[in-house]
């Protein structure tokens, strides 16, 4: 790829750069169980990637008593925090970010994680030297699959949608990116099937960051125009 400075590489984190989706599934399962909700893990898996409040809305009855929502979210956060020092990056996650940075891309994270959780994830990835900014669900009115987090990242990067590429692992990522007019790349390492990612708008699908890095020039990154 030619070196330029006016393109943005936007990345989800959980399940995309770090091997954490199934940790979230387990922690949400236990938090829900403690509150008296028996929700199967496969259903939780499909909801991972949504902000906490939206995840609970997706999994539980819409007309439920919501007074326990904060306790469930806090229980999830407490359980998940026990894994902070063991979070593992996915293969070549840092290498992918650095390769894009060397090619002139602005690298931004677009995530629902915040505070200590985000710090732990960034430490695990080990590429803070090339991450230029982070857009979280707290920065916008609506999180993924709404386009708001992606649009906020574009504002931070100061690039238009046609000069950005978003990489994620869930249908919520693909929908958020395409609704913002950004080319979306899906990764299978989060556990969501290829067909679901493509149906949600993925322009291309790769196994994991290492697979994308190996085929970077032929990916939507290599085809995104400069301006």
Q: Is the dihedral of CA 38, 41, 43, 44 positive or negative?
A: positive
- In the predicted structure, residue 204 carries a pLDDT above the cut 90: yes
> Starting from the edge strand earliest in sequence, which strands make up the sheet with 7-11, in order?
131-136, 105-111, 7-11, 164-168, 183-187, 204-206
CA distance 69 to 58: 13
CA distance 53 to 121: 21
Q: Which residues contact 73 (CB under 8 A, 6 or more apart)?
A: 31, 52, 53, 56
71-103: pLDDT as tens digits: 999 999 999 999 999 999 999 999 999 999 999
Residue 69: half-sphere exposure toward Cβ, Cα within 13 Å: 17
* % of the chain beyond a pLDDT of 70: 96
- Residue 53: what pLDDT? 86
Please state whether beta strands 7-11 and 105-111 pair in parallel, antiparallel, or not at all (unpaired). parallel
- In the predicted structure, residue 151 carries a pLDDT above the cut 50: yes
Q: How confident is the model at residue 2 (pLDDT cuts 50, 70, 90)?
A: very low
Q: Where in the chain is the domain with CATH 3.40.50.1000?
A: 7-20+87-223
Q: Mean pLDDT lowest for which of 47-51, 116-120, 133-137, 221-225?
A: 221-225
Residue 48 is given by DSSP the state B
- In the predicted structure, residue 4 carries a pLDDT above the cut 90: no
- Residue 125: what pLDDT? 98
Predicted TM-score of the model (pTM): 0.95
Q: Where in the chain is the domain with CATH 1.10.150?
A: 21-82
Helices (H), the chain: 21-34, 41-47, 52-59, 69-81, 93-102, 115-125, 148-157, 171-179, 194-199, 209-214, 220-223
Beta bridge partners of 11: 109, 167
Question: What's the maximum distance between 2 C-alpha atoms anywhere in the chain?
Answer: 55
CATH of 7-20+87-223, one of 3.40.50.1000, 3.90.226.30, 3.30.1330.200, 1.10.3720.10: 3.40.50.1000
CATH number of 21-82: 1.10.150
Count of C-beta atoms within a 10 Å radius of residue 118: 16
């Amino acid at each position: 790829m030619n070196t330029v400075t006016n393109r943005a590489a936007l990345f989800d984190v959980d399940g995309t750069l770090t091997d954490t989706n199934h940790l979230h599934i387990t922690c949400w399962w236990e938090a829900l169980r403690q509150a008296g909700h028996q929700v199967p893990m496969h259903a939780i898996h499909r909801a991972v990637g949504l902000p906490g409040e939206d995840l609970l809305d997706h999994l539980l009855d819409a007309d439920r008593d919501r007074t326990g929502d904060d306790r469930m979210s806090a229980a999830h956060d407490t359980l998940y925090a026990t894994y902070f020092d063991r979070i593992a990056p996915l293969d070549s996650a840092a290498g992918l970010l650095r390769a894009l940075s060397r090619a002139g891309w602005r690298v931004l994270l677009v995530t629902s994680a915040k505070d200590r959780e985000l710090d732990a994830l960034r430490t695990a990835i080990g590429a803070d030297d090339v991450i230029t900014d982070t857009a979280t669900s707290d920065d916008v009115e609506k999180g993924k699959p709404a386009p708001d987090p992606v649009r906020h990242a574009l504002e931070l990067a100061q690039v238009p949608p046609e000069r950005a590429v978003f990489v994620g692992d869930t249908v919520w990522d693909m929908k958020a990116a395409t609704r913002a007019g950004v080319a979306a790349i899906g990764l299978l390492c989060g556990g969501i099937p290829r067909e679901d990612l493509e149906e949600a708008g993925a322009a291309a699908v790769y196994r994991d960051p290492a697979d994308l890095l190996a085929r970077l020039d032929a990916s939507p990154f290599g085809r995104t125009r400069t301006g």
